[in-house]
Amino acid sequence: MTVADSWHGLRAGDQVGNLEYMVDAAALARYRQIVGANGSFPDLMAEDCRAMLATRAAGETLTTVWQRLEFMRPPIRGRRIQVGGWIREVRHARDRVWIRAAAFAVDEIGTEILRSEGAFVVGCATARSEHIARLAEAQPEALNLPSSHVGDAGRLGQLRLPGQEQLDEYRQVANAMAATDLSRDGNGPTSIIAGWLEGLMGANFGEDFRWGGELSIVHHRALTPAMTLHCDGVVLGRDTDVRGVEKWRVAMLVRDAAGHQAATAEAVVESPSPRLV
């Protein structure tokens, strides 16, 4: 392994740090005010992977280009959350440093809360992902996922990002949770996208998503205050196994009011969730 495989002395396999914070009623209220009433994971505000990297970044911008989130169960208010993180990969490509990190969050009595992984570029870069062809055209009709079938597509929701003052208040709460400055993301407040999509899937699948659902997100462009976003979805898979458990795969496309692609995502959920049986 060479110096080129490292970033601030960190290499694949190294522990990147630890976080500890409290999710209380005030944090949940602020989270839901921004992402919607169905949001259940205010710990997403702390951006576990990026927060631990930010303590090593020495003022460098860390742009979030990809996230994978595995929701184990909603955090219990009043319990402290403890997070450990490590480096999965460091590589130098296209004159930039790319970092992939993972984190695992549990509460103070060991209850599993969230597994997360993120890819970041030092500086700013445009993400690349597969094009979702079936969402290329606008889908104005609402998509009711529990009653939909493979190939069905439609509108899942709309979100207006907070204005600058409200965004600053949100970041103050997030920075306090993470004990570091999370504002230097080249793609803007990406945790709001994650929280919004988490809430949309929770609204459609309820506890089945909150206890075991997975969400992968690719961020394509910078978000700006007061931007209006639309999320369209398409059902990629709906299969039933020998246990009678349905496994859903839902692709999502997030665009701004002008139709520009802001993010793409895919959710996986089992119903009923094996974690609830």
Determine which helix (DSSP H) or strand (DSSP E) holds 32, and give its type and residue range. Answer: helix 25-35
Query: Model's pTM, two decimal places?
Result: 0.92
pLDDT in tens, 139-174: 568 899 989 999 999 999 999 999 999 999 999 999
75: pLDDT strictly greater than 80: yes
pLDDT in tens, 59-73: 899 999 999 999 999
From 184, 187, 191, select the one nearest 56 (Cα to Cα). 184
Per-residue pLDDT band at 111 (split at 50, 70, 90):
very high
Angle among Cα 21, 27, 33 to the nearest 5 degrees reads: 150
276: pLDDT strictly greater than 70: yes
pLDDT at residue 123, rounded to an integer: 83
Pairing of strands 112-122, 62-71: antiparallel
Architecture of the domain defined by 3-271: Roll (3.10)
Are the CB atoms for 234 and 250 separated by under 8 Å? yes
Q: What percentage of the chain exceeds 90 in pLDDT?
A: 84
Torsion sign across C-alpha atoms 108, 271, 118, 232: negative
Q: How far apart are CA 8 and CA 55, in angstroms?
A: 11
pLDDT in tens, 125-139: 554 444 344 454 545
Q: Where are the domains of the chain?
A: 3-271
pLDDT at residue 139, rounded to an integer: 52
List strand residue ranges (DSSP E) for 7-74, in order. 15-22, 62-71
For residue 75, whether the previous peptide bond is cis, meaning omega lies within 30 degrees of 0, is no
Per-residue pLDDT band at 94 (split at 50, 70, 90):
confident
pLDDT in tens, 179-195: 999 988 999 999 999 99
pLDDT average, residue stretch 220-228? 94
Q: Strand pairing partners for 216?
A: 68, 266
pLDDT at residue 140, rounded to an integer: 63
Q: How far apart are CA 34 and CA 192, in angstroms?
A: 7
Q: What amino acid is encoded at 112 in this protein?
A: E
Q: How far apart are CA 96 and CA 112, in angstroms?
A: 34
pLDDT at residue 132, rounded to an integer: 47
pLDDT at residue 3, rounded to an integer: 52
**What does pLDDT average to over the chain?**
91
pLDDT average, residue stretch 41-50? 97
